[in-house]
Each structure stands twice: as structure tokens, then as C-alpha cells.
Amino acid sequence: MGKKTKVALAIAAASAAAWAGSKAISKPQKRQGKDILQFERPIVLAHRGGLQLAPEHTMIAFEKAHELGVDGFEIDIRLTKDEEIIVFHDDTVNRTTNGFGYVKDFTLKELKELNAGFYFEDLEGNTPYKDEQISIVTLRELLVAFPDTYVNIDMKDDPDTYEGSLIPSKLWRLIEELGVEDRVVVTSFYSEQIDRFNLYAQNHVALGAGENDVRKAFTAFSSQFRHLYHPKVDVFQIPTKSGVFSLDSSKFIAFLNNLNIPVHYWVINDEETMRRLIENGAQGIITDRPDLAVQLLKELHEQNTIEE
């Protein structure tokens, strides 16, 4: 046996021993299920209220989605100049309103004077709200207006900014004041923001996965060391792909489900993909077209009822 072969065999043996050792001392740790995530069927979350049907993040959109029968909303939040939390996606107001500039440079009063439906186009290409005054919504207003609705809250401000440094604590104080700990999920693209928020929440609020959380989970899933993955979050809201990696396989969904983590996919706007994801085991669809998703889920439920 040659020297190279001996070295290769030694490395393989060491790797096998490491795997066996880690398997023996590390057991998968399931997350304790949060009440808000205990559904017996797939759910529909209206992305920004359903932005293809009404101006995003406005009461018009939320009310329309609620009337359609969605289970909840997937929203973004940002902090204003006077440190109020508004429901808004972009860091500027340029794309959706008749104003120009950064959200952080406006007070809430100034933002309320803008038309949040200025650029909205409906499915026929019309701009029905261009000449109206559609108000920007605060998070407080939304949570009070829909007291029984699941709200997935995404902190958008960069953690390295002044606004980003404040929003985790301000968000927790608002959630605690309104007593909505059991009906919101808090997440961020930045995993460190989720960690900051949880310093205040202490796991009393369901947490969604940030980019690093998704990367760690998929790396563990793709390796022989799945048993070493211990999740810090309660639900994954993810796209179907990240770069060249597919995140929508039934095996990946099952891997997370076995850890008591449901998987919701965004942003899914066609029925074929919705159907495929649900067949693969997805527990939620985040969509700009809640009308399509609600109808499809209703049809699938009726179909399953007949088959049973």
C-alpha cells in the first residue's frame, strides 16, 4: 500500500471517527413550538398586504387581503426621523409615494402627508390612486386594526445605522405594550438584528430566520453533520433558490420540520409553484396575489376532504 493511500485512509478513518463521536454526544434539538405557528394546514401571508392588488403597505391593501381570507400579513418596518415605526419597505419614499428622500429624514407627520398609492398600477395597468391621499401606516395602527391577524414583521433598517440600532428595542416595547407577543413573528435579513431583538424578547416572540440562519441550516442539511445543527429561530421564510442552491426540496423542508420549524416561501405569485411547494411540505405561501393563493388553498382543502 502506497504512502498516499495510507494517508487517505487515515483521513477517512479520522473523519468517520469525528462523525461518530459528534453523533454520540450531539442530538438534534427541536425548537419549542410557538402558538402563532401551530397551523394544521398551509397558510397564506399577503406580502406587504398583497402589492399586486393594492398599494403596498397601505390600509387599502391590508383590508382587501383580510377580506379575501388570508391568515396574515408579511410586512417590513422602518424608523422615522422622530423614531416612529412605520410599515414601509424601501429606505427612500421615491418608489411608492409622491415624495423624494430617505424615510429616516422624514417625521411621521411629514410622511403622513405623502400619497403612498401614487405609483401603484393595478393588474390592468391603471393608476387608480394617483390623485388620492393614501396614508402611510404605522405598525401600531396595523396591529390595532387587525387584532386577530398573524403579522410577520421584517426589520429593514441596517443594524449599523442609527435607526437600525434603535428599532429592535423600540419594536419590543411596542409589542409588549400592545400585548401581541403571541401573534407576531419578528425577523430581519440581518441575523444580528434578530439576536438584538431577542435580547429584549427573551424568546417570548416567534423569530424568523435571517440570512445567516438559512445558510447554516442548509450547510448542515447538505453535510453529514445534520445532527450538529441547533436552530435559534422558529420559522423559515425563504425564497425557492439562493444563488445556485435550491431551497424548496421536500427533503430540506422535512429536515426543518423535524426540528419543529415550519417553512414559508416568498414571493410566490403563480399557482403552479404554490401547488408544488405545498406538495413538498411547505407550511406557508407569502404572495403578492393573495386572491390566487387563498383560492388554491381552498380547492386543495376541499380536494383532500373528498379523498378522505
Give alpha helix (H) positions in 189-289.
Answer: 191-201, 211-221, 250-257, 271-280
Give the β-pairing of 245-246 and 150-155.
unpaired
Contacts of 206 (CB under 8 A, 6+ apart): 34, 36, 37, 184, 185, 186, 234, 235
Instruction: Please name the helix (run of DSSP H) or strand (run of DSSP E) that holds residue 206, with its range, or none.
Output: strand 206-207
CA nearest 290: which of 110, 89, 14, 68?
68
Burial of 14 from C-beta contacts in 10 A (0-12 / 13-18 / 19+): exposed
- The phi, psi pair for 85, rounded to 5°, reads -90, 120
Q: Active site residue: 57, 89, 230, 264, which one?
A: 89
C-alpha–C-alpha distance, residues 208 and 185, integer Å = 6
Active site residue 301: no
SS3 content of the chain, % helix, strand, coil (to 5): 45, 15, 40
C-alpha–C-alpha distance, residues 263 and 280, integer Å = 11
C-alpha–C-alpha distance, residues 213 and 258, integer Å = 16
Contact predicate 170/85, CB 8 Å: yes
Looking at the DSSP bridge assignments, the partners of residue 138 are 86
Positive/negative CA dihedral, 175, 154, 159, 106: negative
What the block records as the C-alpha cell of 39 is 397551523
C-alpha–C-alpha distance, residues 197 and 175, integer Å = 11
* Amino acid identity at 202: Q
Active site residue 47: yes
**Residues assigned a catalytic role:** 47, 89
